Amino acid sequence: MQKINIGVVGTGFIGPAHIEALRRLPNTNVLALCEVTPELARQKADQLGIERSATFEELLKMDDIQVVHICTPNFLHYQQSKAALLAGKHVICEKPLAKDLHEAEELVQLAKETGLVNAVHFNLRYYPLVRQMKVMREKGELGDVYSIIGSYLQDWLFYNTDYNWRLEPDKSGDSRAIADIGSHLMDLLEYVTGVKTVAVLADFNTVHKTRKKPLKPVETYSGKMLQPEDYADVPINTEDHANVLLRFDNGNRGVITVSQVSAGRKNQLKIEISGSKKTFAFDSESPNQLWIGNRDGYNQTMTDDPSLVHAEARSVISFPGGHNEGFPDTSKQMFKEVYAAIEAGKQPENPTYPTFADGYRELLICEKILESNRSQGWVTIE
């Protein structure tokens, strides 16, 4: 088997998650790792068992690198994705695709012109029971979508001493909770139901108006605590919590809540979709169960057993029923579909995975939600 050579850019929380998922596929070879300095790149490459270390410019000059994974802070996504495409590399980019719609639109167009494979890491689509919900809806088992209730709750920014680059708009953008985790929820909502969001009414809250920024580096989710003299007070103007009312193109309604200050909720995406026939409810912290609600009969709980799901959902399940699959498996299943396209050498006409166009769509929704919060009124999405 001819393995596909890959360069990964960035080694925070998500870069190593990409690497671990890629190593579980038979046709991939993570050959190079890129960081901001040659010294850090070499250190991280040694830790992760990767042969080559490089700066980003050096990586792009490696002719045997076919694919680049962009796992850097948000403000670098546009320029690095553009440079990789222009260098003839297929690109898998973390979300958000860019910092504004103009940049995202340019990337969508460039990707189309090159014909190179392009994907945005909306990996939460790849829980098997999320795919099962989508297939059930497509087969008419849900009926018309009446309402959608969604939430994405975390607690990693619960304390005012919790700090990360995502709190800094010049690195992350003007939205935080909505852009960081709300984008996953909005993508999954439209992916499963097939409805489009056409208007939003948003209300944000910054719980910690001031946070204590560490004067020493602290890794995401590490739980390390510093001493009082190790912090500097920094004003915060991005949202810790957000509520958004939604209107859909079928005339019906929904609501989402996103929070990064909900104690005890480590990484919980919940979605409840009520249709004219049934209700589906899914919780990412119990991802191997799907609740199915009925009006005139008993409710059901479905598991991600490949012998029980629809045939169209089996491709994203690797183990027999009762063998739990979780967050790390979502990236593996997504990359499996992306790398099938890379083996074929071009972006398929109707990709099964989230593309730069999907990244543009979520950025559009995010910007309209931001606009709504600023104006404190309904904003339409064209």
**Boundary residue ending a domain (66, 95, 116):** 116
Computed from CA positions of residues 73, 77, 78, 81, in that sequence, does the dihedral angle turn out positive or negative? positive
CA dist 152 and 10 (Å) reads 25
Helix, coil or strand: residue 90: strand
Q: Is the separation of the CB atoms in 334 and 119 below 8 Å?
A: yes
Q: What is the residue type of 308?
A: L
What is the C-alpha separation between 80 and 118, in angstroms, rounded? 13
> Looking at the structure, do residues 148 and 27 belong to the same domain, yes or no?
no
Q: Is 104 in the same domain as 149?
A: no
Tell me the backbone φ, ψ of residue 68, rounded to 5 degrees.
-125, 130
Residue span of the structural domain in which 221 resides: 125-352+359-380
Closest by CA to 186, choosing from 239, 255, 249, 276, is 255
Distances (CA, A) of 92 to 12, 95, 315, 377: 16, 10, 20, 35
Both structure tokens of 273: 């979709």
| Per-residue pLDDT at 229 | 76
Could you tell me the pTM of the whole model?
Answer: 0.93
Do residues 139 and 187 share a domain? yes
Report the C-alpha gap between 262 and 254 in whole angstroms: 21
Over its length of 382 residues, how does the chain's per-residue pLDDT go in tens digits? Answer: 689 999 999 998 999 999 999 999 999 999 999 999 999 999 999 999 999 999 999 999 999 999 999 999 999 999 999 999 999 999 999 999 998 999 999 999 999 999 999 999 999 999 999 999 999 999 999 999 999 999 999 999 999 989 888 898 888 888 899 999 999 999 999 999 999 999 999 999 999 999 988 887 665 555 566 677 788 899 999 999 999 999 999 999 999 999 999 999 999 999 999 999 999 999 999 999 999 999 999 999 999 999 999 999 999 999 999 999 999 999 999 999 999 999 999 999 999 999 999 999 999 999 999 999 999 999 999 8
Task: Please give the span between the terminal C-alpha atoms of the chain, in angstroms, as a whole number.
Answer: 46
Q: How many domains does the chain divide into?
A: 2
Residue where one domain finishes, among candidates 64, 82, 116: 116
In this structure, the strands spanning 67-70 and 4-9 are parallel
Give me the sign of the Cα torsion angle 158, 160, 165, 170.
Answer: positive
- Reference 14, options 225, 269, 365, 327; nearest CA is 327
Query: 304 and 374 share a domain?
Result: yes
Last residue of a domain, one of 58, 90, 116: 116
Domain co-membership, 101 together with 192: no
Identify the pLDDT of residue 9. Answer: 98
200 plus 341 within the same structural domain: yes
Say whether both 139 and 90 belong to one domain: no
CATH of the domain at 47: 3.40.50.720
Q: What's the sign of the alpha-carbon dihedral 268, 284, 96, 49?
A: positive
67 and 138 within one domain = no
pLDDT score of 217: 66
Q: Residue 381's beta-bridge partner residues?
A: none
As a three-state string, the secondary structure of 60-112 is HCCCCCCEEEECCCHHHHHHHHHHHHHCCCEEEECCCCCCCHHHHHHHHHHHH
Calpha distance 168→242 (Å, rounded) = 18
Co-location of 135 and 95 in the same domain: no
**Residues 70, 218 within the same domain:** no
